[in-house]
Amino acid sequence: MENLFNFIQTNFPILLSHKYLFLFVGAALEGMSTIIIGGFLFSARLISFFPALAVFILGQILNSYIWYAVGYYTGSKSLDKWGRSKERSRRIIEKVEKYFHRHSGKALFITKFTFSLATATQIMAGSLKYDLKKYSLYSFINSVCWSVLAMSVGYFFGQSYKLFLIYVKDLAYGIIFLGGAMGLIYFLRWVFDSVFIKSLFVGERLKKIGDRLKNRIDKILGNGEHHDGSMPL
């Protein structure tokens, strides 16, 4: 890990002198990759855990307020442009909106861990003028959970890189390990995203299956009545 420290100190000294400021800005503007990098840097002892966690949480909270404000001041226009341009996206957004009306807190929490719905749900909360105190509470909880999770992934890959360095001393492999951490979290979010979206359509699919079964039963019963020579009611 000394190679990593020396590389950053030599080529990007400003990153070390203002590291927490950069981490805060990164968490506020982008989030996931920055927090994973933070976990990786913590494993290298380049940053301290609690100060980093604090700036990540604050950055994520600021990010959630930004998207809430977008929805609050633009209404549904942002969602129309972002999510309703395609039929499938429109149906998903409508399902999320219905779910939000029934379970607002759960919607804010669950979608935070999805790949494509976190921002849309935050904009939706703003456009619906969702209670700001409740939104702030859920935003804090989400930010803590997400920051801890993403940092843990980065830390795990950082520790794995340490073990790998025993055999191969090459900084390039550190970049590969970091890329692997980001790839893993992206994959997990994509899986969670897919599962959540499918769950939103389960009721609709079950209703379609039920309607088909009902139609078939009605046809069978109808045919049976004709064979008996009796008129259907």
pLDDT tens across 170-200, in order?
556 666 766 776 777 777 777 766 766 676 6
State the pLDDT at residue 165.
61
To the nearest whole number, what is the mean pLDDT of the chain? 77
Range of lowest pLDDT (44-58, 148-162, 203-217): 203-217
Cβ-contact 113, 27 below 8 angstroms = no
State the pLDDT at residue 13.
60
Averaged pLDDT, 19-37: 87
Domain ranges of the chain: 1-167, 169-220
Q: Which residue has the higher pLDDT, 156 or 130?
A: 130
State the pLDDT at residue 233.
46
